[in-house]
Amino acid sequence: MPMVRGAEIKVVGRSGQIALGKAYAGKALRLERREDGSILLTAVAMVPESQLWTLEAPHRSRIERGLAWAARTAPAETNLNVLLKRRPRRRGHMRDRRR
């Protein structure tokens, strides 16, 4: 059983609301109604549908590997001239055409 950090008695108002305090202001909470009549509130993080793919395989493991690499790799300054030389030429692009 999880440790309890503190317990309070709250009174539900006429509108059916309780005040949890400023620490919970703006947070999303999951409300679980149990068979014995108790209620459990759990803070949750909401993920937009457009970002759900980041939680699925193989994307999640790739993101985790990238974050691990970034944590163990020191930042280095980029030499833009070298970077531009490694860039493949785009054929048919307007800037590459000479008139």
Asked, for residue 97, whether it belongs to a domain, the answer is no
Residue 92 lies inside a defined structural domain of this protein: no
Predicted local distance difference test score (pLDDT) of residue 94: 62
List Cα–Cα distances, 30 to 20, 36, 42, 44, in angstroms.
Answer: 14, 18, 5, 7
Residues 6+ apart with CB under 8 A from 20: 10, 41
Q: In whole angstroms, give the CA distance from residue 45 to residue 81.
A: 43
Q: How many domains does the chain have?
A: 1
Which pLDDT score is estimated for 90?
Answer: 76
Look at residue 95 in the predicted model and tell me its pLDDT: 60
According to the model, what pLDDT value does residue 99 have?
A: 52
Residue 29 covered by a domain:
yes
68 in a structural domain: yes
Query: What is this structure's pTM?
Result: 0.49
> Helix count (H) and strand count (E) of the chain?
2, 2
**Digitized pLDDT (tens) for each residue of the chain, 99 residues in all:** 667 788 889 999 999 999 999 999 999 999 999 999 999 999 999 999 999 999 999 999 999 999 999 999 999 999 999 989 888 877 766 665 555
